[in-house]
Structure 1
Amino acid sequence: MTMKNKSLVNKLRMPIAAIAILAVVFAIPASRHAILDFFQLGGETTEVGVYYTCPMHPEIRLPQMGDCPICGMSLVEKSIGEDEEEQTGVVSVTTRQIQLSGVTVEPVAPRKLVREIDTYGTIDYDETRLGVVSAWVGGRIDDLYVDFTGVTVNKGHPLVHLYSPDLISTEKEFLLAKENLSRVERSGLHDAISSARELVNASKQRLLWWGLSEAQIDKIARNGKIEDHITIYAPQGGTVTHKEAYEGMYVKEGDELFHIADLSKVWLFADIYEEDIPFLYQDRPDDFYECPMHPEVTSDSPSMCPKCGMDLIRTNKSIQAEITARAFPGEVFKGTISFTDPFLNPETRTVRVRVNIDNPELKLKPDMYARVQIKLPVGELLAVPENAVLHSGKRKIVLVEEEPGKFRPQPVELGRMWVNDIEREESEHKTLVFKREAIRYHEIIAGLNEGERVVTSGNFLLGSESKLQGALAKMLGVSDANATPADAHIGHSHAKPVAVQKEDKKEKHQGHAGREQAGDKKEKAEERPSKLEFVEEKAFAAIIDAYYDMADKLAGDKYEGISALADSINAKASSPSIKKAVEPLRHAHHKKDIEKIRVDFEGLSDMLIAYVQKHKAGIKDLPLKAYCPMKDASWLQKSKDIANPYYGSAMYKCGVIQAWEK
């Protein structure tokens, strides 16, 4: 290279380096905004006294728009000093914040509500419609009129033609008794006539017991000819479900030949959890009493069935049961609850109910799996939608709209939960062909009046606003010595959790978030059983691997395979507390509701965390403990990369890794 070229390269080196540095800087959004703002060249300048924060993590404060580095949500605009503006408990929210949060309000009103129980069961025979055909007399089957299982017969249909020596001898006795009666009647001896008549009646009764009809016996008496065969007829109509009769076969008196089942009505047995039992036994208008074995026997008051002597059971036709089966998608069968077991299954903590179903087209088959939704009316109650309630430790909070844009946090006392407004559900979904989803409500015992307007959606995002946190704290009197941080906690604290320390200088640096978390943990600890039954788990590695797989599925918004993993944990675990905690997850394939499954997963997580805390010294690969401030719940992880099983894709990265307590 010539000296002239080297000189040219040296002159261009610095400008090229400067251009490269500027390109890299401008490729980073934050750096680009900072440079443009510095030279006042940005399209949007940051307003003085304004910052941007995450509704879920208020500790995040940035000078420009962007996404939250913790959960990825879009930051919202806030004014400096805004947190201190409210002193009365009523907080103003801008129209833009309301739009971003998707806030809707609804008046509090009495509603006709029902409790909906969604469970699975098995179709079975109606035991009151089962019949057994037996040989009334010993003999040989010469003709078989029903020669395979599954055929449908009507009442009175011939089944077998039976040759019977016993029948022949009895018929001979009957004819001899008739001849003897005729001779004695000519003698005029009354005692002899009476004895002869009794002998005729006894032999005739034996023929009737063996299946001969009055017409057949009269024919034998008229003709004096013995019938050496007897035909056995179907005592009821239905489907032949079992056959033991074969042509040429010898049978004894009492041998079972056929089983016949009337499938026009079937039963469904389903299990419901013990918390739903009170709804089954609640008094309702139009209750009446019915025999579980003879549904045609009813009464307005408790009594006994005149047919079988059983006590009549209280029931109500307003209790609806809708049955669906995978074999008939989109088709709904109607049924009524006719019987409830008087005892609980100690293993599943469920009680079995029996549902009577009309099956005129014989579509439902015994042993077929079916889904049943039971709707139990609970009366007219003052209630708010499920989403209107924010859970704050032991307190339940709703946001009341004072006027458009102004909201007041209000503690409420809840009664029965998970009930549905059927009238609203039907009106909103009557034009849809797919299965409608329930609209669930909480009963209000105290705290709200009819006509007040409450926030029914977007309240969680709205409730996370720090100024509402402050308003609630003032309203609940957190400064009072008896108030706990958990009581003043609307939604959850979203600051990074910190370990609880002793009363020393470190506590000052931890701030309110740490104290609040300590209050929540103390509250949780009080709710747990006082004594946990743990033994050393020799197969802990296999247990925790199955648990990891379960957490990964929930983080991916899936529940398929959860039951199999729970079965694996139950089989390998030795501790009674772990077995009890995993039991609900073994029925996840029946629930098919990922939110309910996540609740059960939280119980298992708490139990495994307690086990690891107690035995961590002997665990080779110690699991990581993760904490979700949104859910106020913890779980175990193998990796440091957060994968939230409680919210899945909605907040996949929401959470932090916590240190184990020493």
Structure 2
Amino acid sequence: MTRRTLLSSAGTNSPALQQSAAMVERARASIQTARTYTNPTFEFRAGHQTARPIATPGVPGLLQQYAVEQPIEIPAERRARIRVARLDLKGNEHQLAGVRLSVVAEVKRAFYNVLRRKEQVGYAKDNLALVGDLQRRVRVEVQTGEKGKLELTRADAEVARARAAVNSAEVELTNARSVLKAVMGTPLEENFEPQGGFGSQVQLASLKELRQQVLASHPALAEANARTSQTHANVEHERALRLPQTRFYGEYERQPDLSLFRLGVNVPLPLWDKREGPIAEATAEVNRAEAAARQRKLQLMAALDRAYDEYQIRDQQVAKEMPASSAKPDPLKVQVPAALLQSISIGTPQLQDIVTEQKVAARVETDASRLARIGSPVDGRITEVRVFEGQTVVKGQVLAMLHSNALSDTQFAFIKAFSREKLAEQAAARARLLVQSDVIGTAELQKREAEVLQTSTEVAALRAQLRGLGMSDQSIYQLEKQRKLNSDYPIVASISGTVIERKVTVGQVVQPGGEAFLVADLSSLWLVADVPEEHSASLYLGKTVVATVPALPGIKVKGSLSFVSPVVDPQTRTVRARMNLVNAQGTFKPDMLASMTFESRPHKGLTLPATAVVREESKDHVFVEVGTNEFRLREVELDGEVANRRAVVNGVSAQEKIVLDGAFHLNNKRKQDQLRGVLSAQSHRGRSSSAPDHCCGISDPAGLRH
């Protein structure tokens, strides 16, 4: 994984960034809250007035009173309140920028620390190989009698020390990888390998210029200034609250013998509470925020000075060590003899259309069109649970039973209304006969027909209510015939599938709209991926993709995109895409981690043949021509392989000549030259001095140079 990939993943999955982004959204909502006006208040009162036994009693009857009250906001207080909310949003936005800057710095620091630890492991292994070679040579001398056993004991001790150094370096590398995983905020592969180098030396500006840049653009200072401005605005808001909030009041009262209408204004008098305490608290908060801003500025300047001095010291150390290292032969260079020159091919990278593969993190989800959240339309208590998680159910199957008083009450009301309807129909029929016999008038018949219409409407309303509570037309018909109440209600499956979640137990009370079971048809699932914005241009409906699941090694599923989101997620800067995943055998399970691979859009770029690439320490290298018949091994960043060619991301230009074929043999020649140089230097130190070697602590035998 390259540094760019790690930074992109951290920007998407970091919990610290997600928390800061949520605070920004909360601040935006606070602005909307601050802009909202206070709602009016409506009062209604009614009662009965009776006459007292006095000379002039009042008129008895109904007494009614209506009142409306509307608070009138003070414009100054409203403006101050909105300004406080806007400054809070500004502070949270600066905080988000600061957190993003901190996450990037932590990821870079952890990334380069892993690279440094890998280099240390390589150095420790090289030292172990060198000490092991010397140990073998000492053992031969001991066996031939040229050396005593004490020298072999020393050699064994040096090998043990070198092996301990390798183990220590590998432990440090493991710790560095763990730190990188932690700062990423998302699970990484177990054996992931960061790819990249340390880059060229950075030339810093002067300390004065750096201080000016930090003071002008650092998010932490901008946040501190925004918080200070917010506290000032809060003081203005508290002062604005000293002004009395006026309330307009209107009242209408109707008595049996007269009516009254009143209009008024309620104005609180600030006699005792003049908000001196809240204003003093807000002023103290201003002093605290200003002090915190100054403290933050001092901390940033101190950190900048410390980092600048440390960089200068390190830079001077590197500069002092460079002449000594340049005097040594470059282990990455190789001089090609004429015999080997005929077996290699030299040329330049080619510019051509490149189609690379992009791999993004994905997850398995249930198909929303095959998912049912099943509940009860009536409130009641669960009396029986018939299915549990993992069981397969069919549409219409009873999942649980509940006892509902609301259902029985509605059934009882329906039976009563149905009986009244039948009684009213019979009364209307008798009235028609009596009208024909001229016993009663038509007014009585119309009255009884109105009663039939009223009861029929009531029955229809209750029948619709029973349907809404889940009763079928057949069950309602049985209720009409048998007049028997049934308060037991079955919760049935609305689709066929597997119970993946159960949220009820026996004795639990459920409410309408609550979720009791989650049933899903797992024969078809979704594979959902959040594709980074920079790769989303190559996505379209029907595009071929390949899915893999780490938990199911060796299984690759080829499919096409069934959905591509038309919008970009503003928080994660990703575009959601998904493919349908056939799961007839139940191999895949919801919430499994997966990956989605797809081809990018063709673009022009440099490519080189796969035979030009040399793998060293899990990194890609090529041999670049630096002189006549002289080449140097250089690390390059390459993309995926297409038609036996690798796309060049970074490390070599179109004008540079490289070894196109035979790089493997050339690298063997470089290693042989490097080994000969090491052995020659060891033999030279052994001949020139009989003292122990200062690197490994054992004598280098002069008689075994080959």
TM-score by length of 1: 0.38
Decide which structure has the larger Cα Rg and report it: 2
TM-score by length of 2: 0.36
